[in-house]
Amino acid sequence: MTDNKAVTGSVPRHVAIIMDGNNRWARKRFLPGVAGHKAGVDAVRAVIEVCAQDGVEVLTLFAFSSENWARPQAEVGALMELFLLALHREVRKLRDNDIRLSIIGERSRFSPKLQQAMADAEAYTAECRGLRLLVAANYGGQWDITQAARSLARDAAAGILDADAIEADDLAARLSTAGLPLPDLCIRTGGERRISNFVLWQMAYAELYFSDLFWPDFKHDAMREALADFARRQRRFGKTSEQVAAES
């Protein structure tokens, strides 16, 4: 597990975003829900641009949770089409800007066509060395921890691992975000104040930032304000303010 240090006045290495409010944005405009999701693509582009410009190393976007399958079938179908279209349209821009795409989550429930598009997009940007963009699709934090625990349990049963010697870092190494810095900042738009089963293990020490803006309205200025708010915070990780000040 990557260590986090007490910092203030700095750029977060890893930003995780719950992109909420697309449907309510559309409803206010008497539009179908999918119109909000389409409008949200512009906010995705804006946030990526700001993160890449400001030196954020990893950006994780919660695109589709494992619970979202419970939404109306027509909406889910439209979201799958939009996801496929976005992969085809945006991947060249990502590579041109040296952004590497990875998709985390359980993929088997997606159509073979969409699964192939995911793999193709990841391969197309695999050599990029700039911003690391993670898109969480059919993802849940509890699922992530469960699949990591199962992986450890299999190795322990096979005698590869000593179950009593398993440490937190061993489980972290089996998560979808293995090898990446932990999220420093979690942003949620749409006015809600919860983390909704998103990278639960990884966000143990993340700073939380809630915006009342619906996701399609969360553009460049809003993202910069979230980063500025993070820079004003003192992260102590169990230490006192005096200790952190002395280390600065």
Indicate which residues carry an active-site annotation. 20, 68
Smallest CA-to-CA distance from 166 within 179, 145, 152, 177 is with 152
- CA-nearest of 151, 146, 143, 135 to 67 is 143
Q: 219: left (phi > 0), else alpha (psi -120 to 50), else beta?
A: beta
Cβ–Cβ < 8 Å for 33, 23: yes
Residue from 219, 203, 68, 88 nearest 141 by CA: 203
The phi, psi pair for 60, rounded to 5°, reads -115, 125
